[in-house]
A and B are shown apart, each in its own frame.
Chain A
Amino acid sequence: MSVIESIGPAPGTTANVAVNQVLRAKRRQAVQQVALGVGFPLLLLAVWESCARTGVIDQRFFPSPSRIVAVAIDVVSSPTEAHLVVRDVLATLGRAVWGYMLGAVLGVIVGAVMGLYRPIRDAIAPTIYATFPTPKLAIFPLLIVIFGLGDASKTALVTFGVFFMVCINTLSGVLYANPIYRDFARAFRLPLHVQWFRVIVPSALPSIMAGLKLGIGQAFILVVSAEFVSANDGIGYYIWNSWQILDISRMFVGLLIVSMLGGAAVVLSNTVERYLIPWAKRS
């Protein structure tokens, strides 16, 4: 009987050749992934650059990427300007980091207690879920009334936003963790504090970590927004002020700095995650 169609390696191919084919295909895919991941943003920048140069978009509002880079170099190389930018970055980081840590700690504690102890959950959960959808920035005026115009009100705003993210994720992590861990803890009659701190709370770690990562985004949004509205320093102030005096290139430099800070925070959180929950599956 003659072969009508043959799928698979060509006749005479040895297993080794097939393995090499698979390896080569995998390598090709990896190269392609990196090339596309880097190439596409570069393409967008190139389009932006050419649009700006040919005057398709207004250079006064959308300076070309090359011009933004040139201004950024100017800023960094001028001692007075560099000093101011560093001051702004440190001011923003101070507010964001303190607010974040406070919000994260409170969020984990309140979320865990709510998850572990039913009466407290029943008492607090309705309030938490009812106030969660409120835009956090909306209570900023109230926070200024309470904490004054200084750093405290901005830090409090960050704390507030981070708290919700972390608290709700911790709560759901504790409540919906794999029930087998609870069964184990009860079946082996572990003392309550061991059940809580060595079994139930760790089992919620992946969810807590998700909340902590979402909290980073919240912290940056809120600190920059607060600095837009009321501040004399900070990177949010830098961006807003550059816009007000129509120094659009410097506004873009400010945006660049914020994105870099955000990117660094994400890389840091991924490292912490790998260290804290090495068993979690990652894509």
Chain B
Amino acid sequence: MSEFGEHTKEPPQAAGRFQWWRPLIGRNPKATFIRSLVLVLVCFVVFRFVALPVRVRGVSMEPTYRNGKVNLINRLAYLGSEPRRGDVVGVTFTGESIQLLKRIIALPGETFAMRRGVTMIDGQALDEPYTVVNESWTTRTERTLGPFEYVVIGDNRSMGMRLHISGVVDRSRIVGKAVF
């Protein structure tokens, strides 16, 4: 008989006696322990290295993401491809505990500007149906992005431009793509 067979053998029990621990750990405590351990490990690996759970704080991504909503950042999203325009991404500060959740609107090599609330990419107006536009948003200069630079911005542009964290980030600070 294999070891596994011995593990699953049901221990003798006193007839009619209620065993309070049975619903918690099952008939085979060792197997339950191993399953629990595997589950914990899988959760640790998934939520630490693959899909980072984040809670949205603030209003800068409304109406797409409401304050308090929980989301996941897929760290594997850009392993085989580069970030694309329209992707909502997590951007690190000094680590991954706190991230900016922003939308990519300009890609490496493109020229970005904002004119009366309209995003201009290489001189062409960008259609952004997901935004709340504020006509006061205007940049004094155009900015041509370097080979690893992206412009990220929130969808809610109803506040003053200085009150909104937006601008150029390096590719290395983009952690991954929002799942939902």
Pair from one complex: no
